Amino acid sequence: MADLKTNFLGIESPNPFWLASAPPTDKEYNVRRAFEAGWGGVVWKTLGSEGPPVVNVNGPRYGAIYGADRRLLGLNNIELITDRPLETNLEEIARVKADYPDRAVIVSIMVPCEEAEWKSILPRVAETGADGIELNFGCPHGMSERGMGAAVGQVPEYIEMVTRWCKTYYDKPVIVKLTPNITDIRYPARAARNGGADAVSLINTISSITSVNLDNFSPEPSIDGKGSHGGYCGPAVKPIAMNMVAEIARDPETRGLPISGIGGVTTWRDAAEFMSLGCGTVQVCTAAMTYGFRVVEEMKSGLSQWMDEKGYSSVNDFVGRAVPNVTDWQYLNLNYVAKAKIDQDQCIKCGRCYAACEDTSHQAISMSEDRVFEVMDDECVACNLCVDVCPIDGCISMVAMQPGETDPRTGKVVQADYSNWTTHPNNPMARAAE
């Protein structure tokens, strides 16, 4: 069995699966259950300032997007930060950390953008013995209207400023949690690094309306006929999250900055993908909220099995392995030529590839009277749509042409060497460089 032990910013945990700051980590009761179930760490649900706690709505906080058989694909929420007294949370954090010294306990914090506020809360958090803090610059709903959460995360200068305060008044690791509700994730990440952040975590949730009630025209979740945008998470956001993680991992200005990956991690495979893109740990919420804490069992056994199969003895063996393969479009090899190939033995003759190609793509699949579907290599641009719509896994594949073969579509011989857009004759910039 591969060793899943993780050391992230000097914080050790028995596995890389942490529960994200969210309802599952709001109180001692849940966190103890999570640790008993085997989670490697938790990021405690966001604490606010001393004083009367925030209040939540008294109607639905969540909305959902479903796939087949009501499988939950995306969840959105309008819940605010913890609505329990600060002192209660701090006491509980201290108790839990004392009882589970081998697990990571990170405390998420969100207080107003004033130095005094941060200066006042940080020593109290430090007293709990927690392993580090996560700055919640991400929540897009509710708190952002009060100048916190995503309202900070959308202004790189604020991120840098607050991060610096935290590094000044707190001596353990500081993780900055980023909002995806920006145009370019690299700017807030750079700001965090400039402020001295030890790591970033992302993504927080995406501003969203999950659905509209077509009887009363209220957005969901509906509170007395009105709705407010919530934060979207769950399996549906994973592709967006992974791209943002990769952008930070490969940005020269933030390269090497530790990342805790968040966004739709549901299975071991999701975790492995995030980690290959540079994440030292992953944080999970929706999967736990959907299936309960014991879902971590599959994540641990799955990741361990995959590591054994690949011969990885430590997570460090594969963290970041995919980062060098993430590049700009302009550097993709234009001499790489592939063609779709349909395995007739596997084909069930549904014709979806034909409909997709004929109606919406390149008219490169033929259909015979007896429903035999074949790729016309002289039309196929290898777009992959047929592969994507085929219901049979592995029935259609993209096969690379070998150097020396002639592409029947272009009449050109496939070249062995690499060539990209930067030097392509159709590129005006390439011509200008000549």
Partner 1 sequence: MAQGQMAPGIVAGRLSSDELAANFDDLHPAYAPHEAAVAADRCYFCYDAPCQTACPTEIDIPLFIRQIQTGHPEAAARTILEQNILGGMCARVCPTETLCEEACVREAAEGKPVEIGRLQRYATDTLMARGVHPFTRAAPSGKRVAVVGAGPAGLACAHRLAMLGHDVVIHEARPKAGGLNEFGIAAYKATGGFAGAEVDWLLKIGGITVEQGSALGQGLTLDALRADYDAVFLSIGLAGVNALRAAGEDKEGVRDAVDFIAELRQAGDLSALPVGRNVVVIGGGMTAIDAAVQSKLLGAENVTVAYRRSRAEMGASRFEQDLAASKGVRLMFNVMPVAVHGNRSAVEIELEYTTSAGGSVTGTGETVRLAADQVFKAIGQTLKGAPEGLELDGRKIRVDGSGRTSVPGVWAGGDCASGGEDLTVTAVAEGRDAAMDIHTQLSA
* Active site members: 139
Smallest gap from Cβ 339 to partner 1, in A, equals: 21
Smallest gap from Cβ 350 to partner 1, in A, equals: 4
Nearer to partner 1, 271 or 365 (CB): 365
Nearer to partner 1, 102 or 388 (CB): 388
Nearer to partner 1, 185 or 386 (CB): 386
Smallest gap from Cβ 368 to partner 1, in A, equals: 11
Q: How would you write the chain as a 3-class SS string?
A: CCCCCEEECCEEECCCEEECCCHHHCCHHHHHHHHHHCCCEEEEEEECCCCCCCCCCCCCCEEEEECHHHCEEEEEECCCCCCCCHHHHHHHHHHHHHHCCCCEEEEEECCCCCHHHHHHHHHHHHHCCCCEEEEECCCCCCHHHHCCCHHHHCCHHHHHHHHHHHHHHCCCCEEEECCCCCCCCHHHHHHHHHCCCCEEEECCCEEECCEECCCCCCEECCECCECCCEEEECHHHHHHHHHHHHHHHHCCCCCCCCEEEECCCCCHHHHHHHHHCCEEEEEECHHHHHHCHHHHHHHHHHHHHHHHHHCCCCHHHCCCCCHHHCCCHHHCCCCCCEEEEECCCCCCCCCHHHHHHHHHCCCCEEECCCCCEEECCCCCCCCCHHHHHCCCCCCEEEEECCCCCECCCCCCECCCCCCCHHHCCCCHHHHHHC
Question: Binding residues for partner 1, per CB under 8 A?
Answer: 68-70, 348-352, 354-355, 367, 371, 391-392
If phi > 0 it is left, if psi is from -120 to 50 it is alpha, else beta; for residue 15 that is beta
Nearer to partner 1, 349 or 431 (CB): 349
Smallest gap from Cβ 380 to partner 1, in A, equals: 18
Smallest gap from Cβ 20 to partner 1, in A, equals: 30
Nearer to partner 1, 69 or 171 (CB): 69
Smallest gap from Cβ 353 to partner 1, in A, equals: 9
Smallest gap from Cβ 280 to partner 1, in A, equals: 38
Nearer to partner 1, 20 or 365 (CB): 365
Nearer to partner 1, 70 or 252 (CB): 70
Could you give the CA distance from residue 421 to residue 409 in angstroms, rounded to a whole number? 20
